C-alpha cells in the first residue's frame, strides 16, 4: 500500500475503539484512522447485570466516547446509513460520504423487543442502562413468587449473562429473606455456550445445586401479559410473577439496507481472516459478525487486536499471513462473591476454571481495567 492508507471504522463501541487505538499505535503515520460512531456514551455493559441487584453504582459503567480515543484519531459523531463495498463508500445520515482503503465494521447489535409479541412493557431486562435501573425497582418491590430468567430466540450478546443473573438474584433474594417464598426458573437456550453438552451440564448442575429450576431448550417466543405466561419456541408454557428476558438481537439497519447481512442482519465473514467474502479490505469485528462463537466483549477484543495487527502489517509493507482462531475468554459470576473463567476457541469447546472469589472480583472491578487499558488498546 503506497503512502498514507485511509482506515475507516464504523462503530465507537468495544471493537471499534480497540481497533482504532491499537492501529494508531502500531501504524503511526502510515495510516489515517477515522471512526464514525453515534453513541452518546460508551458503556461497559458487563456492569449492567450488577445494577438491578444494587451491586454496583451506575456511574462507573460509562464514559464519553471522545475521551477514549488516543491522539491522532479522527472521530466523526454521525450515523452510518449505507455502505457500498464495491465503490468503497460509506454514507452518513447527513448525506456526507466517506471513502476508505480499509473498512472495519464494528457496529454491534441492536435490541429488537418488538419482534416478540407481548414482550414490550411486560418483560424486564438489563441490556441497557435504563432497563437495568428499571429492573432494580422491580427487584426491589418483588415480594416472592416465580422469578423467570431467560432470553428470546436467536444469538444474543453475552449469553451467559442470564445464568449469572439467576445465580446472583438467588443470593439477592436470600439476603432479603425472600428465598423461601420464591422459585427461580432459568430458561436455558440451546445456542452457543449452551450447545456444548458438557458446559450446559455444568451450568445446569450449578443452578440446580442452588435450587434454581432449569428448563432446557426454552427460548422465549411469546409473552402473554394477561395470563402472566411465557411461551417457548417449542410451545412450552411457564407462569411468572416477574419475567426477566433478554430481547432478540439484530444487526444494525444499515447492514440490511446495504445487503451485507443475513436475515437477522449479522454479517457473514471468513472465520479466520474476519474479511467479507471477496473483500480483503473489509473486516467485521464484534457483535456485528456472524461467527461460530458467542458474541462477547472478550471475543470483540481478540478480533479487534487481530484486525489492527493485520492492517498495520499491510500498511507497513511487512505482511505475514496470520489467522484469528476464535479465541474467547470471560469471567462469569456464579454467586455474589464467586465466579469462574470460561475459555474457548474454534478448536476447543468452552472449558471452565474452578469457582473462586478472585474470578468474581476481577469481573466486579473490570470496568476500571476496561476504560483505562482495554479500550485504550494497551492490552
Ligand X SMILES: Cc1cc2nc3c(=O)[nH]c(=O)nc-3n(C[C@H](O)[C@H](O)[C@H](O)COP(=O)(O)OP(=O)(O)OC[C@H]3O[C@@H](n4cnc5c(N)ncnc54)[C@H](O)[C@@H]3O)c2cc1C
Contact between 15 and ligand X per CB under 6 A: yes
CB 132 within 8 A of CB 168: no
Between 26 and 329, whose beta carbon lies closer to ligand X? 329
Least CB distance from residue 297 to ligand X, whole Å?
Answer: 3
Q: Where are the alpha helices (DSSP H) in 241-317?
A: 253-257, 297-315
Least CB distance from residue 64 to ligand X, whole Å?
Answer: 12
Between 49 and 184, whose beta carbon lies closer to ligand X? 49
Contact between 102 and ligand X per CB under 6 A: no
Partner residues linked to 101 by β-bridges: none
Cα gap 190→200, rounded to integer Å: 9
Closest CA to 100 of 21, 39, 35: 35
Closest CA to 187 of 210, 203, 170, 176: 203
Cα gap 307→371, rounded to integer Å: 20
Between 1 and 329, whose beta carbon lies closer to ligand X? 329
Cα gap 182→179, rounded to integer Å: 5
Contact between 287 and ligand X per CB under 6 A: yes
| Per-residue binding letters, 39-78, with ligand X (x by CB under 6 A) | x-----xx-xx-----------------------------
Restricted to residues 159-178, the positions that interact with ligand X (CB under 6 A) are: 161
Q: Which of 240, 295, 324, 340 binds ligand X (CB under 6 A)?
A: 295
Binding part of the chain for ligand X, among 13-21, 54-62, 192-200, 202-210 by CB under 6 A, reads 13-21
Provide the grid cell at 211.
435450587
Binding part of the chain for ligand X, among 135-143, 183-191, 233-241, 296-304 by CB under 6 A, reads 296-304
Contact between 303 and ligand X per CB under 6 A: no
Instruction: Indicate the Cα dihedral angle 318, 319, 321, 326, nearest 10°.
Output: 120
Between 173 and 333, whose beta carbon lies closer to ligand X? 333
Binding part of the chain for ligand X, among 22-30, 154-162, 170-178, 344-352 by CB under 6 A, reads 154-162
Residue 65, burial from CB neighbour count under 10 angstroms (0-12, 13-18, 19+): buried
Give helix 14-27 / helix 297-315 axis angle, nearest 10°: 30
Binding part of the chain for ligand X, among 34-42, 203-211, 231-239, 263-271 by CB under 6 A, reads 34-42
Instruction: Name the closest residue to ligand X (Cβ).
Output: 13
Cα gap 108→295, rounded to integer Å: 9
Count of C-beta atoms within a 10 Å radius of residue 243: 27
Between 27 and 36, whose beta carbon lies closer to ligand X? 36
* Whole-angstrom Cα Rg for the chain: 21
Query: Which residues are near ligand X by CB under 6 A?
Result: 10-16, 36-39, 45-46, 48-49, 79-80, 106-108, 126-127, 157-158, 161, 252, 254, 286-288, 295-298, 300, 330
Amino acid at each position: 500500500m503506497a503512502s498514507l492508507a485511509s482506515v475507516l471504522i464504523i462503530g465507537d463501541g468495544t471493537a471499534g475503539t480497540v481497533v482504532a487505538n491499537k492501529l494508531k499505535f502500531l501504524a503511526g503515520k502510515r495510516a489515517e484512522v477515522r471512526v464514525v460512531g453515534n453513541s452518546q456514551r460508551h458503556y461497559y455493559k458487563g456492569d449492567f447485570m450488577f445494577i438491578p441487584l444494587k451491586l454496583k453504582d451506575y456511574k462507573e459503567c460509562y464514559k464519553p466516547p471522545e475521551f477514549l480515543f488516543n491522539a491522532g484519531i479522527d472521530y466523526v459523531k454521525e450515523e452510518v446509513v449505507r455502505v457500498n463495498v464495491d465503490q468503497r463508500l460509506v454514507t452518513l445520515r447527513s448525506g456526507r460520504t466517506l471513502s476508505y482503503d480499509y473498512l472495519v465494521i464494528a457496529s454491534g447489535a441492536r435490541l429488537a423487543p418488538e419482534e416478540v409479541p407481548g414482550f414490550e412493557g411486560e418483560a424486564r431486562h438489563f441490556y441497557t442502562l435504563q432497563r437495568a435501573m428499571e429492573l432494580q425497582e422491580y427487584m426491589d418491590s418483588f415480594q416472592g413468587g416465580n422469578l423467570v430468567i431467560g432470553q428470546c430466540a436467536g444469538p444474543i450478546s453475552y449469553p451467559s449473562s442470564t445464568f449469572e443473573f439467576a445465580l446472583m438474584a438467588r443470593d439477592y433474594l436470600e439476603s432479603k429473606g425472600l428465598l423461601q417464598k420464591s422459585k427461580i426458573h432459568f430458561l436455558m437456550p440451546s445456542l452457543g455456550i449452551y450447545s456444548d453438552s458438557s458446559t450446559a451440564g455444568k451450568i445446569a448442575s450449578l443452578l440446580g445445586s442452588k435450587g434454581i429450576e432449569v428448563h432446557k431448550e426454552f427460548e422465549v417466543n411469546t409473552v402473554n401479559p394477561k395470563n402472566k405466561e411465557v411461551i417457548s419456541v417449542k410451545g412450552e408454557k411457564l407462569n411468572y410473577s416477574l419475567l426477566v428476558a433478554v430481547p432478540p438481537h439484530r444487526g444494525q439497519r444499515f447492514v440490511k439496507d446495504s445487503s451485507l447481512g443475513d436475515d437477522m442482519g449479522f454479517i457473514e465473514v471468513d472465520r479466520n481472516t474476519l474479511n467479507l467474502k471477496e473483500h480483503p479490505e473489509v473486516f467485521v469485528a464484534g457483535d456485528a459478525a456472524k461467527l461460530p462463537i458467542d458474541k462477547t466483549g472478550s471475543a470483540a477484543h481478540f478480533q479487534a487486536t487481530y484486525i489492527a495487527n493485520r492492517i498495520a502489517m499491510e500498511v507497513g509493507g511487512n505482511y505475514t499471513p496470520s489467522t484469528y482462531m476464535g479465541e474467547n475468554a470471560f469471567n462469569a459470576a456464579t454467586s455474589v462473591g464467586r465466579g469462574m473463567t470460561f475459555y474457548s476457541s474454534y478448536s476447543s469447546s468452552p472449558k471452565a476454571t474452578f469457582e473462586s472469589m478472585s474470578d468474581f472480583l476481577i469481573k466486579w472491578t473490570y470496568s476500571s481495567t476496561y476504560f483505562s487499558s482495554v479500550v485504550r488498546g494497551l492490552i
